[in-house]
Structures are given as structure tokens and as C-alpha cells.
């Protein structure tokens, strides 16, 4: 009788252990399924984040790729952009660290180029200043050196598209080299060598003197006039109006 009871108890224990093991297996399986679902959802969210991030980067790349299209086929000579015989001349005073200069370059300039410069009506000269700080000096020297290869304008556009925080030290050799890479036919090594040279210093000094003579106290500042004649500052930032007036011979 007692052995029968013991057998029954043993069988019950075995059954309970089996049930417990089965429950544990089921729980483990459920947890692994849950982890699989969480991993899948996480992968979808990360992929979506990467897509959003890349679309933003692509916009930047388009902005930096734009200069070649923007200036393609337009004569470039040092700091000058446009036909030397254009009846109207513009001088732009800018600092590469100036956010308003970057805004003009990426906003209004493309329209000015397509409507006035490309048709040969207007020729623009970029006079770079370096008053905002050390990053302006580093960037300005390299840009003027790029101008010695007649690649100033596309380099400046590429620079503006990636303009960083003012005087944060972002204008490093690596940064400049990366921007130079975006400009076809710009020899970065040659520009680095030239950037330390006396001709670049002379050009920047000349820009500074011209700015003082024209009483330029902010950037960007535009002076407009007929070719060979005196240039006058643009009132109220209406560059198109000033260009139209100059073209009309007023």
C-alpha cells in the first residue's frame, strides 16, 4: 500500500516537472519571438532614420554639386565671374564665415547668374574680406589661392554649402581639402602652397583697402556700376533693381 502511494507521488512529481519544463520552454519561445519582433521594429526605425538623414545629406550634396552647373561655361578669371565685355560690373564684399553671405550665395546668386551673368550683361568680382576671425583668414587665403586657378567661385559656393559655426575652428586643412574635392579641376595641393604666398596676402590686403575706400562696414555689400565707371553701393539690398538700372544706363 505504501509503495503504491510512493509510486503515485513520484509520478505526480515527474508530471509536474515535465509541465514546468514545458512552461519554461513556452516562456522562452515567447520571449525569443518577442525579441525578434523588437529587433525587426528597431531595424525598421533605424532604416527610416538613415533614409531621413541621407536625404538631408543628399540635399547638401546637391547644394555643393550645384556650383559646377551654376558656373559652367561662364568665364572665370581670378575673382571675376562673367564676360569681360559685360556692360555692368558688380563688386561683392564678403567674408566666407558670414552667414548672410552664404544665404545670398545659395539663395539669390543662382538667379543673378542665370539672368544677368550668363547672358553677358553683368560681370561680378568677389572681394573676400577676413575680418570675422581666424577661420575667415584660413578660408579666405585658400579661396584666393583657388582663384589663381580660376576656381574661386565654385570653391566659395562649395564652402558656403558646408559653412560651420563662426570661429569654431572648423576651417581645418581637412575641411578645405574636402571642399576642394568638390570642385573639379581645382588642385588642392597647389592651392595649399599658394595660400601661404605673398600674392594671396597682396590680394587680401587690396580687398581690405578697397573696402575701406568704399566705406564697406558689413557683408555682403554690393557695389554696382557701368564697366569702367564709378561703382555705387546698392541701396536696400535690391541688387536686381540696381542691375536693371545700371543696364538701362541710369
Partner 1 sequence: MSDARLRTAALVLAVLGIGVAGYLTYVHYADLEPVCAGGGHGCEIVQASPQSELAGIPVALLGLLGYLVLAGVNLAAGEAARILGALVALVGFGFSVYLTVESVTVIEATCQWCLASLGLMTALAGVCVARLLRA
Q: Which residues bind partner 1 (CB under 8 A)?
A: 31-32, 34-35, 38-39, 41-43, 45-46, 49-50, 52-53, 56-57, 59-60, 162, 164-165, 168-170, 172, 174-175, 178
Nearer to partner 1, 172 or 212 (CB): 172
Shortest Å, Cβ 137 to partner 1? 16
Q: Which is nearer to partner 1, 7 or 59 (CB)?
A: 59
Q: How near is the Cβ of 163 to partner 1 at its closest, in Å?
A: 8
Strand order in the sheet with 122-129: 76-77, 80-81, 122-129, 88-95, 221-226, 232-233
Phi, psi angles (nearest 5°) of residue 222: -120, 135
Q: How far is the CB of 173 from partner 1 (least distance, A)?
A: 11
Dihedral of the CA atoms 174, 179, 183, 185 (nearest 10)? Answer: -20
Nearer to partner 1, 62 or 238 (CB): 62
Residue closer to partner 1, measured from CB, 17 or 52: 52
Minimum distance, C-beta of residue 95 to partner 1, in the bound complex (Å): 17
DSSP string, 81-148: ES-TT-SEEEEEEEETT-HHHHHHHHHTHHHHIIIIITTTSEEEEEEEE--S-HHHHHHHHHHHHHHT
Amino acid at each position: 500500500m505504501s509503495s503504491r502511494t510512493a509510486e503515485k507521488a513520484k509520478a505526480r512529481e515527474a508530471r509536474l516537472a515535465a509541465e514546468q519544463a514545458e512552461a519554461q520552454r513556452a516562456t522562452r519561445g515567447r520571449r525569443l519571438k518577442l525579441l525578434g519582433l523588437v529587433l525587426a521594429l528597431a531595424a525598421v526605425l533605424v532604416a527610416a532614420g538613415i533614409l531621413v538623414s541621407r536625404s538631408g545629406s543628399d540635399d547638401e550634396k546637391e547644394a555643393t554639386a550645384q556650383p559646377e552647373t551654376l558656373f559652367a561655361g561662364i568665364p572665370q578669371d581670378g575673382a571675376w565671374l562673367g564676360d569681360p565685355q559685360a556692360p555692368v560690373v558688380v563688386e561683392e564684399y564678403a567674408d566666407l564665415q558670414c552667414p548672410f553671405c552664404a544665404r545670398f550665395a545659395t539663395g539669390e546668386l543662382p538667379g543673378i547668374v542665370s539672368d544677368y551673368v550668363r547672358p553677358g550683361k553683368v560681370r561680378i568680382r568677389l572681394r573676400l574680406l577676413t575680418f570675422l576671425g581666424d577661420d575667415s583668414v584660413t578660408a579666405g587665403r585658400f579661396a584666393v589661392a583657388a582663384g589663381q586657378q580660376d576656381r574661386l567661385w565654385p570653391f566659395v559656393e562649395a564652402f558656403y554649402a558646408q559653412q560651420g559655426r563662426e570661429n569654431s575652428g572648423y576651417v581645418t586643412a581637412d575641411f578645405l581639402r574636402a571642399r576642394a574635392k568638390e570642385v573639379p579641376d581645382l588642385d588642392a595641393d597647389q592651392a595649399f602652397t599658394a595660400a601661404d604666398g605673398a600674392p594671396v596676402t597682396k590680394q587680401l590686403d587690396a580687398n581690405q583697402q578697397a573696402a575701406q575706400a568704399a566705406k564697406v562696414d558689413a557683408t555682403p555689400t554690393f557695389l554696382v556700376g557701368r564697366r569702367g565707371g564709378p561703382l555705387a553701393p546698392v541701396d536696400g539690398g535690391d541688387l536686381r533693381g540696381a542691375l536693371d538700372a545700371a543696364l538701362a544706363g541710369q
